[in-house]
Structure 1
């Protein structure tokens, strides 16, 4: 993989030229910033920027004015290769709070899917099921809350909206041990791009280390490759990064969510 070329393609397709990722959302370019504005349970924030030291302060202030006028908390998704070099420091000075840094990792979907080699199958006793209705979304939410220790209410509403209005852009799956959900994950399929996104992969504590997360990655890779996506993209935590590396993912950059609460 030509890392610089793929990163430039990622920046252009999924950030600068991004399409709205859910119902009720709009994406617009304002000066040197591309932002998405949506409902309170959707993702609100800055996707891309091309700033220098002279323009950064006003651009930051402009986004704060826009989202706070709507009563929205929002995220400035800062990548390590974004400029200017002190943009993170400027965001903190404006009242943003950084969340943990993640690695931007990318792989060829067909390779991870095992189309050209060994396939990662679900461990014994685990069945991977698609999520298509409200009952399935409730199970996804319960796994998310147990795996990450966070409230899944916004995830539930967003996933229900996507399945109802844009079912071709999202695939949600559950790993079931009998009648118990033990892991869940989503695959985002933005139209017109080469990148499918892996999101929300989480496993309840008692099932970690058994290959469930790996199997859900491979399952989603097969879906993405079957729908014509060349690459998989993940914002990887420290916990998932080693697993993804063994599956063939390459680190292209890092990304840090800077969150502003009105």
Structure 2
């Protein structure tokens, strides 16, 4: 059983590396500049982003040079206020952590890369009385769902996040927003983001109000998004998960295949 589990995780990781890195990550960028094996992408909203398929066996000195040059590239662009450098635990990247710290990047908490077969996430779940699932498209409903998610995550309701979500849904890249509703109020929600040209769809933004947790609602939403992914021809589901959500997704059938640590740099005023 353990060997089968390990071989499945290895196959998932190979699919992740071959399908979800570089091109899939920078789709929609305003510009993408190559630097050795790196992709330096600039997105709307002043966000810079660095990713790569692998570092080609480079040593610490070469990697430190790439970090210097990448940051210089973004510093020279007045549109860019912040840069995220995405690292993976399974990459060979000697000296990268130290080089990023040296240039003022700050690491976030690590997140688990979770992958599973979409068919394994499909399940029939009995919802609490009066709770219904539906896909959300109307702007007023999108804003209401965004506000619910802000509250569920313990933050302030943000009109900026709501408008960002609306733009994401309006750009017709296949992103879907699904929610659970009870007596006209939203109590749980999450997105499905199919990745063009791959076998993957991502599940993101899962949030449930505290009073409704532990009642099968998020499990039902995950199953519904998996069904939608299968209808779109996507056979694999992926998500980057915190320590809180990882056990939930593991119970649903996803496997941890590696770890991501984002490093962030912010331009001083």
Instruction: Give the TM-score, by structure 1 length.
Output: 0.88
Shift in Å at residue 229 of structure 1?
Answer: 0.5
2:161 partner SS? helix
* Distance change in 2, residues 1:145/1:163 (3 Å): same
In the TM superposition, what whole-angstrom CA distance separates every residue of 1:10-51 from its partner, at most 9, and x where no partner exists? 1221113326444x644453321123321117x641232533
1:1-262 alignment, distance < 5 Å: 2-18=8-24, 20-22=26-28, 25-40=30-45, 44-51=48-55, 52=58, 53-68=60-75, 69=77, 70-114=79-123, 119-150=124-155, 152-166=158-172, 168-262=173-267
* Distance change in 2, residues 1:31/1:139 (3 Å): same
The question of whether the paired residues in 2 share the 8 Å contact of 1:79 and 1:254 is answered with yes
**2:4 counterpart residue number:** none
- Greater shift in the superposed pair: 127-136 or 183-192: 127-136
* Inter-partner Cα distance in structure 2 for 1:181 and 1:124: 14
2:129 partner SS? coil
Task: Give the number of the structure whose alpha-carbon radius of gyration is greater.
Answer: 2
Counting matched residue pairs gives: 255
**2:3 counterpart residue number:** none
- Greater shift in the superposed pair: 245-254 or 68-77: 68-77
* Inter-partner Cα distance in structure 2 for 1:10 and 1:199: 16
1:169 partner SS? coil
In the TM superposition, what whole-angstrom CA distance separates every residue of 1:123-179 from its partner, at most 9, and x where no partner exists? 33321121212212211220221122346445323322232222x420011211211
* Inter-partner Cα distance in structure 1 for 2:102 and 2:84: 15
- Greater shift in the superposed pair: 249-258 or 68-77: 68-77
The answer for unaligned runs of 5 or more in structure 2 is 1-6
* Inter-partner Cα distance in structure 1 for 2:25 and 2:248: 30
2:20 partner SS? helix
The question of whether the paired residues in 2 share the 8 Å contact of 1:175 and 1:181 is answered with yes
* Distance change in 2, residues 1:241/1:154 (3 Å): same
* Distance change in 2, residues 1:25/1:140 (3 Å): farther
Shift in Å at residue 240 of structure 1?
Answer: 1.3
Across the aligned residues of Structure 1 and Structure 2, the Cα RMSD in angstroms comes to 2.2
